Amino acid sequence: MGLLDRLSGLLGLKKKEVHVLCLGLDNSGKTTIINKLKPSNAQSQDIVPTIGFSIEKFKSSRDGQAIIFVIDSSDRLRMVVAKEELDTLLNHPDIKHRRIPILFFANKMDLRDAVTSVKVSQLLCLENIKDKPWHICASDAIKGEGLQEGVDWLQGTSQNTVHLQPVFPFH
């Protein structure tokens, strides 16, 4: 670490990394979103289905300083399952008593059967989340649409640099 880095850190000018947990049901678009948010030279060209867990640099949910929860907005049948998983997450001991920001991506908005982000918010009862800042964005992960809005919101809530830690615990 150089002198300028130390000085800027002491003065509070250097932005810190925020470790973000990326969660959601299988096939919701988590891997595609993470891939799109990486620098272009680090993006994987071929995305194959993630089976089971995909964990990078993850120790526990206590390490996460923000959460991205990805929902397939075109899969109305599994919206109830997504709600159950969200409720489980919100009641987890490592999350429950923390004011951790949650960014929801209502993904796959480009598909014909997709519901709006407002409808996703209603189906997941997001208005009941009173103790954590949250935001929902409509997104199309394949085209990258809506992703920057979400990252901007996360950076605004934390005033730090967002560093993604992919974690996919929901099958």
109 annotated among ligand-binding-site residues? yes
User: Is there a binding annotation on residue 13?
Assistant: no
2 annotated ligand-binding residue: no
- Cβ-in-10-Å burial (0-12, 13-18, 19+) of 99 comes to exposed
Please indicate if the annotation marks 108 as binding a ligand. Answer: yes
Contact 147, 141 (CB under 8 A): yes
Residue 18, burial from CB neighbour count under 10 angstroms (0-12, 13-18, 19+):
buried
Q: Is 32 annotated as a binding residue?
A: no
Consult the annotation and say whether 28 binds a ligand.
yes
SS3 38: coil
Is 107 annotated as a binding-site member? yes
Rounded to 10 degrees, what is the CA torsion of 73, 79, 82, 86? Answer: 100
72 annotated to a ligand binding site: no
91 belongs to an annotated ligand binding site: no
Annotated binding site for GTP: 24-31, 107-110
Annotated binding site for Mg(2+): 31, 50
Annotated binding site: 24-31, 50, 107-110
